[in-house]
Structure 1
Amino acid sequence: MSADNGLQSEGERLQKVMAAAGVASRRVSEQLIVEGRVTVNGRTVTELGTRVDPAVDKVAVDGTAVQLDPSRRYVMLNKPVGVVSSMRDEQGRPDLSRFVSGYSERLFNVGRLDAETSGLLILTNDGELAHVLAHPSFGVTKTYIARVRGIVTPQTISRLTKGVQLEDGPIAADKAKLLQVNPGVRDSLVEITLHSGRNRIVRRMLAEVGHPVVELVRRQFGPLHLGTLKAGALRDLTKEELGALLTISREGGASAAD
């Protein structure tokens, strides 16, 4: 029974649910509740007798969302070059199925990276979170490192942030930074952050300003960082990473419902 309806006779005790979700031990969870640091469906609760339905109620600790459903899985993949962002490719190209075969859950990818682009891809069975993270209207940013042909100038970086005109409309980077110039081989390293979900958008933007992409890696997706994860490797998200993602997802879902 949801804690929202005021009836506490059904469901499970909040501290028990928090402990089962790995938030903290039951005793520490009780302390968090008494200190007013726990919310259920956006409302602060301080009663240890509070009961919740893990399948329905939304719990947060210190403003960070907690996943109560143990059947949900969240995985980070460093997608290698040459792999298409699909669980099954009709053309027989290497796809994501090889990376998820060891999971009992039926995972799918959040958004896409084109075959020539490597980097951070989220795999999950949480459709609600996937929708918020993938849809550009929710403003979740992604950061890419691009090796491009030619010597990029500060003026070019300014063009990327002010906006360029593409065949499917104007686009501007949220941020752009020149990381390195290599005069000897006449290429440059550029960092671009944007929230657009348009197809091959980074490659098209850089081509438009005269610097075709040689190599492209997505290093960051919202609060997640690729870090030292090697190409082709996967790992479950940490509790902190998952909390940050779920908080974005719930905020996005709530604003969409308003």
Structure 2
Amino acid sequence: MAETGEQRLQKVLASAGLGSRRASEELIAAGRVTVDGKRAELGVRVDPATAVIHVDGERVITDVRTVHLAFNKPRGVVSSMADEQGRKGLGEFVTAVPERIFHVGRLDTDSEGLLLLTNDGDLAHRLMHPSYEIAKTYRCEVRGPIPMSLGRRLAKGVTLEDGPVTIDDFKVIDEHENRSLIEIVVHEGRKHIVRRLLDEVGHPVFRLVRTRIGAVTLGNLKPGTVRNLRREELGALYKAVGL
């Protein structure tokens, strides 16, 4: 068994942060664990590099080679791992990561905030696919003040040159003289969609920060730094895209 990499399931679960081996055994005995779509039994051995394991319907990542990172992209950084024009790219911030990783979606050079970095191609593809409608939250400093009717107008939909766009949520955070801070939630992935939308309704964006992608929040992550995604964040992301 050693050469195949197989281990007892309770050991794999414990290593993935599900608690002690005893607690993991109790999860298995209670029928709360599936492996490759089938209810797991006590004593089963699995290869953590290939097994698809769920606990209470939530995916548990057991392959230690899989990388999932949250990155706070500073303004001026290009959303590519390396840039042919010599501009600062994402790769300069993850030199300590030995695996080959890539970014999930993009933020334009002038925008800031949350980007996901991973080497999980299936997850990345589904997160970017419009059919899964993964919500993304942005905080934008825009030309103000904001009329009370703007939220309703955005919710009804605004037609851009490449088709209509609607929002999931909108609120005004703060207003000061001729500028306002707003929060907007969309599940669109079209290029510059938030900037184009707000420009169309007469409130050009001065600063844009993405603060959330699905269940993953930017929080207090400092610009230019990365962190590993938490187990509950990963479980929610995989669940949202049916993995």
Shorter chain as denominator, the TM-score bin is over 0.9
Q: Look up the SS of the partner of 2:125 in the other structure.
A: helix
**Are 2:20 and 1:25 aligned?**
yes
Q: Counterpart of 1:199?
A: 191
**Mapped partners of 1:233, 1:104: distance in 2:** 16
Q: Counterparts of 2:17 and 2:180 in 1: how far apart (Å)?
A: 45
Equivalent-residue separation in structure 2 for 1:61 and 1:22 (angstroms): 12
- Aligned twin of 2:38: 43
The corresponding residue for 1:98 is 92
TM-score with structure 1 setting the length? 0.88
Percent identical across equivalent pairs?
A: 53
**8 A Cα contact 1:181 1:187, kept in partner:** yes
Which residues of 2 match residues 39-78 of structure 1 at below 5 A?
39-45=34-40, 47-78=41-72
Q: After superposition, where does 1:88-127 map in structure 2 within 5 Å?
A: 88-127=82-121
Q: Which residue of 1 aligns with 2:232?
A: 240
1:244 aligned partner, one-letter code: A
The equivalent position to 1:176 in structure 2, one of 148, 155, 170, is 170
2:131 to 130, 137, 140: 137
Structure 1 runs of 4+ with >6 Å offset: none
For 2:106 and 2:217, the matched residues in 1 are separated by: 17
Partner amino acid, structure 2, of 1:229: L
Report whether the alignment pairs 1:223 with 2:215: yes
Q: Deviations over 1:84-120 (max 9, x none)?
A: 1001111111111111111111111110000111000
2:48 maps to amino acid: P
Task: Report SS of the residue matched to 1:246.
Answer: helix
Q: Structure 2 unaligned runs (5+)?
A: none
Asked if 1:151 corresponds to 2:145, the answer is yes
Please give the secondary structure, in 1, of the residue aligned with 2:149.
Answer: helix
- Give CA deviations for 1:216-241 in whole Å, capped at 9, x if unaligned: 00000000111111111211112222
Q: Give the aligned length.
A: 240
Matched-pair contact (CA < 8 Å) for 1:154–1:178: no
| TM norm structure 2 | 0.93
